A and B are shown apart, each in its own frame.
Chain A
């Protein structure tokens, strides 16, 4: 009790805008994870590497004098190359998906070090007109902060709209069919190998893009920033599904709502994260905390079903 009284609610409130912004940026990454984990049914650990690749590319380009906005397409492309590597290892060389993605992830660590030159490269918001920065949400007038958030929301909505459109096209249908039932896809003339590579590239492109924005937000690209990223991505997907899944599936444009739910999942993850930190959980325990959260949420549907079968409920 005494311990609780030393907590300052205002400090939590002050920290929330930062966590919300962070969650929105990681939401882009979570969309990438959603594509592989849910649509393609491919356990892709490439993301731990490709998020840092996107960050490294963006930061080094900014430091080289390129406009921060223009580094984002480059971060997207860099992430795509990571997905391409995993996809080719899996489809052309027959390496099991999870192992293929681990191989790419490990290789990207070296690649990222090569890009960065050392383990950490800063970009100062004082020197460059960054697209995002923690300062945009902690300093300046309320109007300016609001404007940043509105910009982020608009950006995310455009992203959701593009993905909604893409997964409604012939190619998007092919990705969904391949992930759901590869036998059916092949019987309908879909080159499932090509489709897998394509989906992995799209997914990791989004992850790289997220890395490019996040590096600007935190003012640096760090070689270790991707460690455990997949767990955060999964947490976002699962939290989004558990909290908003039913709501989303009942709507028209259900898929667009599901994508939005995934982004909201990332935002909620970072708000809870902030809350737990505020409760004075040592920050070195946070990865354990994330893993436990994901494990619990992944287990819930399984345990529910088990309980139902025991009861004899169909």
Chain B
């Protein structure tokens, strides 16, 4: 059986040849089995979100290959990869079209990977399904299906984006710090919805987060990134028994090493 995701030696340098040159991905390797729910942690600029953007094809990568469920998507534009992916972003504004109705947003997601035609943009059957799925969120959105998404709160928008992302059963769900912009209570609710959607649909998922506790509590596997590389990859029982202090120790070990090296150069 093919891997759900295979990232082979992916490189990305931003602003190459300028004073702002930044090596964002420096040979990232990662394999996800179907059903894996991987949490991704790391410091600022470690390459977590960049990895997700590389998978989604926001820009071309400088080297390496990205294979989703056996299909090499390295050369495909963002909109053609969308058929394999569900995405939720850090900014609640990014995932939805604010001037369109809730049901219209969901209907657009329902057609991900399909040719858009002159057929009516939303069917009666779909409206019934949407009503059901919105009701399951428990946010009361099922009674506001013709409201503009722009009128909703950040948490509500993220919940809808999650629903949109999980439609069409994507090969891979990419959650890019999707609770970082929310207040703690709302963040917890959105995480709960994420867990539910992932387990109910048996999705393969990657979740970038700043919160080490969340990274430990969710998913079956944890990956730590640093300076554009995967430096720690733990799963199963070992992951379950992790504590924040273990992660911090691990993190300090890596960056401490670097610190010592820098010191030596300076000396």
User: Residues of A at under 8 Å CB distance from B?
Assistant: 166, 168-174, 176-177, 180-181, 183-192
Contacts and interface: CB of A to CB of B under 8 A. Distances in A.
B189 interface: no
B208 interface: no
B67 interface: no
A169 B119 contact: yes
B141 to A, nearest CB: 18
Interface string B80-111: 10110101010001111111100011011101
A36 B18 CA distance: 36
Interface in B33-56: 56
A230 B232 CA distance: 58
Contact of B121 (A173, A187, A190): A173
Given A186-B78, A188-B109, A168 B96 contact: no
Contacts of B78: 186-187
Given A168-B121, A183-B94, A184-B97, A174 B109 contact: no
Given A171-B116, A184-B94, 6 more contacts: A168-B121, A170-B111, A171-B118, A177-B105, A181-B93, A187-B82
B98 A173 contact: no
A187 B56 contact: yes
Residues of B in contact with A, size category: 35 or more
A181 B93 CA distance: 9
Interface string B105-131: 101110111101111111000000000
Contacts, number: 85
Interface of B is mostly: loop
Nearest to B117: A170
Given A187-B95, A190-B79, A174 B56 contact: no
Nearest to B78: A186
A46 B186 CA distance: 46
Contacts of B85: 187
B103 to A, nearest CB: 11
15 contacts: A168-B121, A170-B111, A170-B117, A170-B121, A171-B118, A173-B100, A173-B122, A184-B96, A187-B87, A188-B82, A188-B111, A188-B112, A188-B164, A189-B83, A190-B108
Contacts of A171: 116-118
B95 A184 contact: yes
Contacts of B94: 181, 183-184
B50 to A, nearest CB: 16
Nearest to A181: B97
A88 B120 CA distance: 27
Interface centre among A166, A173, A177, A189 (most CB of B within 10 A): A189
B201 to A, nearest CB: 17
A189 B100 contact: no
A170 B113 CA distance: 12
B119 A170 contact: yes
A231 B82 CA distance: 39
A90 B215 CA distance: 42
A169 B87 CA distance: 24
Nearest to B86: A187
Contacts of A180: 97-100
Contacts of B111: 170, 188-189
A189 B112 CA distance: 5
Given A177-B108, A186-B78, A189-B79, A170 B97 contact: no
**Which one of B97, B104, B114, B121 has the highest number of Cβ atoms from chain A below 10 Å of its Cβ?**
B97
Nearest to B96: A184
B107 A189 contact: no
Contact of A169 (B56, B96, B121): B121
Contacts of A168: 120-121
A173 B122 CA distance: 9
Nearest to B87: A187
A177 B56 CA distance: 19
A108 B29 CA distance: 52
A184 B149 CA distance: 13
B107 A173 contact: yes
B119 A191 contact: no
A184 B92 CA distance: 11
Contacts of A183: 89, 94
Contacts of B82: 186-190
Contacts of B77: 191
A173 B93 contact: no
A173 B126 CA distance: 15
